């Protein structure tokens, strides 16, 4: 029979005996199993699935031939401006192929987003580089040469400036290992993180005080800060005046010093000037950069998309508005679950009801795939080929080769192959997509890397080897860095909106959302709201007491936890708590900490995850 079913066919066959009748009649469809029809949240998709929204039956398996035909039909049915791709930061090769597909279709919108780039406020960092140096390049911090490192909330021992990927976690550990054991590392942040535990000093600061702290240290170095201003800065940052003097001497007394602007400092109101002032600390005495170990990586001539700017939360919100207005009718999603990683106030769940065709390439079930018309599962990372940039090694132009550790276990297919096959099936003839399959695309990519001056190196030994013949990647023989440039100091006043008041009223805190992955297993029940024991005693809270956290965006039931390694003004919540327990279609009730921030964005459009006023109340 024909591989494609219409909605009428589906309803007619369903009437013959539900899903069993449908599968029995659909002789051209793939065999099934209960786990494939109704996968749990911990299982994998076994193969491509089709569902009709509005029909009270589970998704049913289809063949890959039918799946490719459906995607090709979408390419033919809609105008370019009516199609959008939303992809994660991993892997890079798929992002490039999605961009080529978009170009071949006539200008389809492609957005790249992940919660990691949002929590790092990566767009804010790139905007600061554009304002200060005239180029939105990826900053390069040579940790191996620094004598003193001041980290303003940077998770340099975890996922900072890298995609979320288990395969690349070792690269971040290597970044920490490259720090000179004799170097003195100071971590400034509200809550003691894993990076703070590894640092030589953890300095607890008031939420949102990073910009003021950086400006104060710079002024102390220039002897342009009077006693009155110093004590005012001490009250607003939470760092005593004597400590500020000592820290300024420590940092500026070192010949090779680095200041790292982490996401905790930038994902706040006033995050852009905070990035500027922290980067300003890296300048040498003559106002130049380079001698301190801070550089900017030039764009890659072979594939400039490798260091492209991710989408901000503001751009994702614009996509939602375009969907609501009927301008985007077909949405393809890979590598990110917007229903999980965006606050409910963004309205993504409601907007999906306006999408005519929703295609998910999820390997594992997630909230968005539960709403999709087509589920076309990609290989798991350990089963896939590809490449990925290591941003913290950007000066070497390092591109990691992704090699499968095992063949695919299920009837999955590389998303790159699906797009290429669907493009050909739709009648496309563009030279930009003149690839036989994913392997052909990767082979030509490797040739372009080598033509651009990169060579393939073994990961374990550094010897040159044919691409993908052994674990490794492509890198330049020498670092590629912009020469030292003259730094223009930011002229605008530092926004200290999250640190304007020396003390907060009882029950009022500055909210801090932190990614808890890797710190501990997530227990069941209400999310843990961490507060300092001194504040808990004043408010009459004991460990485990239930309560409500209320912000301007709504309320969340919590269980109180005491954390002495937290500034007394801070109230910390794990952002990824109960991600799957929330109902994406619910119109009322806030079930996740992420929903407490509402639509709050900083100047660059990144999410504001720290500094919002929050009240902690006893459960009535």
Joined tokens for residue 176: 């920490």
Helix/strand/coil percent split, the chain, to 5? 35, 20, 45
Q: Which two tokens stand for residue 456?
A: 């393939």
Report pLDDT for 519.
Answer: 46
Provide the pLDDT confidence category of residue 577 given band limits of 50, 70 and 90: low
What is the location of CATH 3.40.228.10 in the chain? 119-296
Beta bridge partners of 511: 571
Tens-place pLDDT, residues 350-390: 999 999 999 999 999 999 999 999 999 999 989 999 998 87
| Residue limits of CATH 2.40.40.20 in the chain | 501-618
Coil, strand or helix at 176: helix
CA dist 430 and 612 (Å) reads 49
What are residue 216's phi and psi, to 5 degrees? -65, -45
State the Cα–Cα distance between residues 416 and 92, nearest whole angstrom. 11
Contacts for 366 with CB less than 8 Å, ≥ 6 apart: 337, 339, 340, 360, 580
- Whole-angstrom CA distances from 355 to 324, 373, 375 are 8, 10, 15
Q: Which of 360, 523, 366, 371 is nearest to 41 (CA)?
A: 366
Best CA proximity match to 548, nearest among 584, 500, 502, 596 = 596
Q: At what angle do helices 241-252 and 210-221 cross, to 10 degrees?
A: 70
Share of the chain above pLDDT 90, in %: 52
pLDDT of residue 34: 36
| Superfamily classification of domain 119-296 | Dimethylsulfoxide Reductase, domain 2 (3.40.228.10)
Rg of the chain over Cα atoms, rounded to whole angstroms, equals 26
Q: Which pTM does this prediction carry? A: 0.86
- For 501-618, CATH gives 2.40.40.20
Q: Where in the chain is the domain with CATH 3.40.50.740?
A: 44-51+60-112+306-451
Over the stretch 145-203, which tens digit does the pLDDT of each residue have?
889 999 999 887 766 775 443 334 444 455 566 677 889 999 999 999 888 898 999 99
pLDDT, one tens digit per residue, over 230-242 is 999 999 999 999 9
Model pLDDT for residues 211-255, shown as the tens digit of each residue: 999 999 989 988 888 899 999 999 999 999 999 999 999 999 998
According to DSSP, the β-strands at 374-375 and 49-50 are: antiparallel
Task: Please tell me the predicted confidence (pLDDT) of residue 503.
Answer: 66
Domain spanning 44-51+60-112+306-451: which CATH class is it, in words?
alpha beta
């Amino acid at each position: 029979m024909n591989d494609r079913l219409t909605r009428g066919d589906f309803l007619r066959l369903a009437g013959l005996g539900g899903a069993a009748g449908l599968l029995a009649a659909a002789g051209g469809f793939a065999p099934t199993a209960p786990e494939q029809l109704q996968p749990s949240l911990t299982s994998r998709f076994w193969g491509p699935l089709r569902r009709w929204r509005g029909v009270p039956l589970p998704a049913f398996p289809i063949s890959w031939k039918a799946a490719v035909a459906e995607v090709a039909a979408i390419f033919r049915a809609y105008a370019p401006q009516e199609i959008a791709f939303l992809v994660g930061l991993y892997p890079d090769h798929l992002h490039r192929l999605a961009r080529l597909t978009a170009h071949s279709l006539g200008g389809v919108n492609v957005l790249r987003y992940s919660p990691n780039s949002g929590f790092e406020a990566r767009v804010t960092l790139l905007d600061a580089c554009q304002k200060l140096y005239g180029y939105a390049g990826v900053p390069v911090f040579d940790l191996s040469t620094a004598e003193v490192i001041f980290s303003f909330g940077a998770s340099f021992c975890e996922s900072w400036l890298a995609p979320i990927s288990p395969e690349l976690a070792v690269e971040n550990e290597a970044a920490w290992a490259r720090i000179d054991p004799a170097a003195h590392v100071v971590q400034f942040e509200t809550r003691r993180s894993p990076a703070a535990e590894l640092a030589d000093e953890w300095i607890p600061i008031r939420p949102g005080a990073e910009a003021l702290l950086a400006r104060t240290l710079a002024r102390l170095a220039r002897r342009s800060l009077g006693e009155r201003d110093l004590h005012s800065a001490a009250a607003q940052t939470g760092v005593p005046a004597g400590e500020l003097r000592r820290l300024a001497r420590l940092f500026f007394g070192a010949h090779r010093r680095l200041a790292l602007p982490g996401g905790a400092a930038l994902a706040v109101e006033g995050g852009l000037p905070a990035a500027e002032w922290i980067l300003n600390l890296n300048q040498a005495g003559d106002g130049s950069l380079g001698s301190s170990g801070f550089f900017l990586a030039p764009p890659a001539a072979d594939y400039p998309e490798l260091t492209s700017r991710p989408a901000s939360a503001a751009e994702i919100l614009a996509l939602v508005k375009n969907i609501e207005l009927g301008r985007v009718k077909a949405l393809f999603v890979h590598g990110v679950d917007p229903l999980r990683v965006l606050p409910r106030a963004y309205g993504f769940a409601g907007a999906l009801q306006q999408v005519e065709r929703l295609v998910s390439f999820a390997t594992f079930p997630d909230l968005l795939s539960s709403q999709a018309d087509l589920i076309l599962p990609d290989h798991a990372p350990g089963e896939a080929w590809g490449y990925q940039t290591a941003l913290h090694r950007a000066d070497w132009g390092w591109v990691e080769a992704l090699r499968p550790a095992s063949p695919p276990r299920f009837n999955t297919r590389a998303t790159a192959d699906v797009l290429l096959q669907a493009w050909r099936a739709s009648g496309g003839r563009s030279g930009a997509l003149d690839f036989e399959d994913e392997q052909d695309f990767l082979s030509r990519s490797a040739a372009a890397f080598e033509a651009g001056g990169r060579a393939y190196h073994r990961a374990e030994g550094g010897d040159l080897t044919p691409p993908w013949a052994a674990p490794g990647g492509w890198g330049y023989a020498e670092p590629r860095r912009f020469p030292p440039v003259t730094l223009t100091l930011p002229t605008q006043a530092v926004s200290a909106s999250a640190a304007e008041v020396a003390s907060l009223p009882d029950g009022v805190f500055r909210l801090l959302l932190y990614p808890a992955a890797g710190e501990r297993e997530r227990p069941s029940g209400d999310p843990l709201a961490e507060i300092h024991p001194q504040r808990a005693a004043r408010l009459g809270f004991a460990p485990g007491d239930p309560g409500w956290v209320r912000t301007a965006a709504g309320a969340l039931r919590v269980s109180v936890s005491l954390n002495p390694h937290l500034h007394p003004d801070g109230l910390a919540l794990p952002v990824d708590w109960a991600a799957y327990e929330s109902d994406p279609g619910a119109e009322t009730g806030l079930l996740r900490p992420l929903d407490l921030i509402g639509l709050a964005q900083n100047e660059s459009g990144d999410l504001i995850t720290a500094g919002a006023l929050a009240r902690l109340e006893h459960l009535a």
